[in-house]
Amino acid sequence: MKRGTLFISIIVLVGLVFLVSGCCAKKQGVTSTPAAEEQTVVLEETVTEEIIVLEKRDFVLTEALEEKAVLTGNHVVKSGECLWWIAEYEDIYNDPFMWPLIYSANSDQIRNPDLIYPGQTFYIPRSGYSMDEIREARRWAGAEHPYTPPEGSMPPLD
């Protein structure tokens, strides 16, 4: 019984291979000559090169958009992010306990700090806070005493 099933599976697989290869040759108008095989290889290389160029272009565009967001003081929320993680990014504050600053600056968009959504654009304050306000925000976020930002963080001080 197992041999029969294996034999039928092999026949079906071989048939599918011939069917697919025949369909592709008809769609491209390719005959099974050596010159046609070379054209197919060249076509595959061209398509692969175009895909690589598109991927590089998309990467450059994404990178440019992210750099622009950093320069303008905005951050576009990606899937899975939270205010804690956003504040922890090196190019934002490099301190997760400063997430209340982002929350207060964007309170018109954020009703619940635990619920933010992909695609939202948040303003990232770069200045305008005193050290006392930053300490209060870090205390509210649950930072340990003393509430001063750690070395290497970038608080939005005046």
Q: What is the pLDDT of residues 68-126, one digit of tens each?
A: 444 458 999 999 999 999 999 999 999 999 999 999 999 999 999 999 999 999 999 99
Res 138 pLDDT > 60:
yes
In CATH, what number does 73-140 get?
3.10.350.10
Q: Where along the chain do its domains lie?
A: 35-72, 73-140
- Cα–Cα distance for residue pair 128/126, rounded to 1 Å: 7
Contact predicate 137/125, CB 8 Å: no
Mean of all residue pLDDT scores within the chain: 77
Confidence (pTM) = 0.55
- Cα–Cα distance for residue pair 106/84, rounded to 1 Å: 14
Which is nearest to 92 in space by CA: 154, 135, 36, 143?
A: 154
Which is nearest to 128 in space by CA: 105, 157, 153, 93?
A: 157
Q: Which residue has the tokens 């992010």?
A: 81
Average pLDDT over residues 26-40: 53
Cβ partners under 8 Å of residue 147, min gap 6: 134, 135, 136, 138, 139
pLDDT band at residue 5, thresholds of 50, 70 and 90?
Answer: confident
